[in-house]
A and B are shown apart, each in its own frame.
Chain A
Amino acid sequence: MRLLEATEMTGGYGEMDILDSVDMGVDSGEIVSIIGPNGAGKSTAMKAIFGIVRLRKGQVSFAGEDITNAATETQVRRGMAYVPQERNIFPNLSVHENLEMGAFIREDGVAEALEHVYELFPPLREKMRQPAGELSGGQRQMVAIGRALMVEPKLLMLDEPTAGLSPLFMAEIFERIIAVNATGVGILMVEQNARQALEISHRGYVLSTGRNRFADSGANLLANEEVTKSFLGG
C-alpha cells in the first residue's frame, strides 16, 4: 500500500518557490532516499510533506488521507515522525526525558516503546540520566531518532541523519536505520552521503533545482551512469 503520496508539490518560503512540481512516494516498510546537490530542495520537500513549509500547489496524502498543509501537531498523531537535521534534541533534558517527550502525545504506557529504543541504541541506556546536550554527535543522533520512534510511527522522516558524523558513526547510524526499518517502519531520508544512502534504500529520488530528475530503485540509480556522474561524484 502507498503510505505516503506527494504529487506536484510546489511551494517554498515566502514569495519564492523552491519546489517545482515535485512527486514523491513511500510504500509501507520501504526505505526511500532523496538525494541531489545543495539547494536542490531536498530538505524543503521533506518539510513540505510534514507541513512546516507551505505548499502553493500540489497534494500530500498519508495512508489515504489528504494532509496537504496540515498542522504539524496533527502529523505526529497520524503516525509521522520527523527528525530535523540540526537542533533535533532538547539539550538540557536528560536522554531519558528526551525520549519521554517523544511520547508526549501518547496517553498509554510508554515502557515498551522505551525498552525498544534502548534495545536499538544500547549506548543511550548507559547515558539515560545525562543531559542530551553533553553527548557526542553520533549519540545525539541516536537520541533524536529514538525520540521520533517513541510514537511508534508508520513513517520516519530523517533530514541528513549522518551529517557531520565520522565514517564509523555514519555506518552505525545506517545500520540502525535498517534495524528500524526491519520492524516495519517506512523511512524517508534526505542524504548528502548519497552512495551509502542508496545502498540501503529500496528506492531513491534525485532532485535538482527543485525538480524531479530521476526516480528508481536504489540499485538502478547506483547503476545509472548519468546519476553517478552528475550526482554521486563520478
Chain B
Amino acid sequence: MLEFINFYLVPGLVLGCIYTLGAIGVSLLFGILRFAHFAHGDMMTLGAYLALLVIGLTGWPAIAAIPAAMLGTAVVALVIDRVSYRPFRSSPTIIIVIASFGIALMVRSAIQFTWGLEIESYRTGIHRPMVFFDSLRISGNHIQIVLTTIVLVGAVHYLLSRTKIGKAMRAMSDDPDLARITGIATERVITWTWIIGAGLAAAAGVFVGMDTQVNTFMGWNLLLPVFAAAILGGIGRPYGAIAGGMVIGIAEELSTYPWIGTAPLLSPGYKTGVAFGIMVILLIWRPSGLFRGRVF
C-alpha cells in the first residue's frame, strides 16, 4: 500500500499538476483564439531552460526561479503572437495551427542552439525524501510542486471569476463576435491569455525539471498528454482542464502498477501512450469532453 502511494500515486499527482498547468493554457487559448496551440509544449521547455539560466546565475533553488521563467516565457509568447499569429486572426484557424507547428520547431531549435542538446538538471547530488509516519516518503520537490500548483490554479480561478479582464476572457471564449460588438478590447484579452497560458506552461516546465531533468525534447513529449488533458476536461473550459490533467497524470503512473500479479500492468515503455489511449476513447465516445466543452 505504501509502495503504491510512494511510487505511483504521488508521482501521478505530480505529473497531474504538470499536465494541469499546461492544459489550462491550451484550453484558454483554444477558447479565445480558437486554435490548438502546437507550440505549447515548447513553451514549457523554454520555461524550464529559462529557470536553468536563472539558477545558474543566482544559485537559487528552482522554485524561486519560477516567477522569472514565467515572465520570460510570457514575453516570448507575446512576441511570437505579434509576429507570427496576429497576421492570421481573420484567416481560417488551421493556418495558425500550421504556423504554431513551425513556431514549435523554431523555439526548440533556438533553445538547442543556446543551451546545446545535453540533458541538464537543476541540482546535482541525491535528495533525501521527507519521511512521514516512518514510511510515507515524499520528496520536498514533490511537495513544492503540488503546493505551487494549488497557488497558481487559485490565482487563475481568482482572475477568471473576479477580475474584469478574466471575465472578459470568459466572455470572449463564449462568443468572440459578441465580445467585439460589446466593445471588449479583444486584443487586450488575447494579450492576457498569452501571459497566463505561457506563464503556466513555463511553471509546468520548471516542475518537470525539478521532478526529473531538463532536455530539449521534453515539450514535444508533454504536448500530447497536455492536449489529451485539455480535451478530457472539455476544450475551452479551464476548470475542466484541472480534472483532465489530474486524471491523465495519475492514470499514466498507475498504468504501470502491478495490478494483476507481479508484472507491471503496462510496460513502462508505453506509459506515454496512456494519455493517447484515453484521448482516443474520449474522441469516439464523447468529443465534448467530460465536462461538456465546445462541441465540434
Give the B-binding residues of A (Cβ under 8 A).
50, 52, 72-73, 76-77, 82, 84, 87-93, 97-98, 100-102, 104-105, 147, 151
Contacts and interface: CB of A to CB of B under 8 A. Distances in A.
B167 A100 contact: yes
Contact of B178 (A76, A87, A92, A100): A87
Contacts of B108: none
Contacts of A91: 174-175
26 contacts: A50-B181, A76-B181, A76-B182, A77-B183, A84-B178, A87-B175, A87-B177, A87-B178, A88-B178, A89-B178, A90-B174, A90-B179, A91-B175, A92-B170, A97-B167, A97-B171, A100-B164, A101-B179, A101-B182, A101-B184, A102-B182, A104-B182, A104-B184, A105-B183, A147-B182, A151-B183
Interface of B is mostly: helix
B82 interface: no
B7 to A, nearest CB: 40
Nearest to A150: B182
B185 A90 contact: no
A82 B175 contact: no
A98 B170 CA distance: 10
A101 B168 contact: yes
A12 to B, nearest CB: 18
A101 B181 contact: no
B86 interface: no
A73 B185 contact: yes
A93 B171 contact: yes
A93 B185 CA distance: 17
Contacts of B183: 73, 76-77, 104-105, 151
Nearest to A96: B167
Interface in B164-200: 164, 167-168, 170-171, 173-175, 177-186
B259 to A, nearest CB: 39
A84 B177 CA distance: 10
Contacts of B173: 92
A97 B174 CA distance: 12
Contacts of B174: 90-93
Nearest to B188: A104
The 5 closest A-B pairs by CB, nearest first: A76-B183, A90-B174, A105-B183, A90-B171, A104-B184
A230 B52 CA distance: 76
Interface string B93-125: 000000000000000000000000000000000
Nearest to A74: B183
A93 B167 contact: yes
Nearest to B184: A104
Nearest to A92: B174
| Residue among A77, A90, A105 with most chain B CB within 10 A | A90
Contacts of A105: 183, 185
A52 B181 CA distance: 9
A76 B185 CA distance: 11
Contacts of A100: 164, 167
A151 B178 CA distance: 15
A105 B203 CA distance: 32
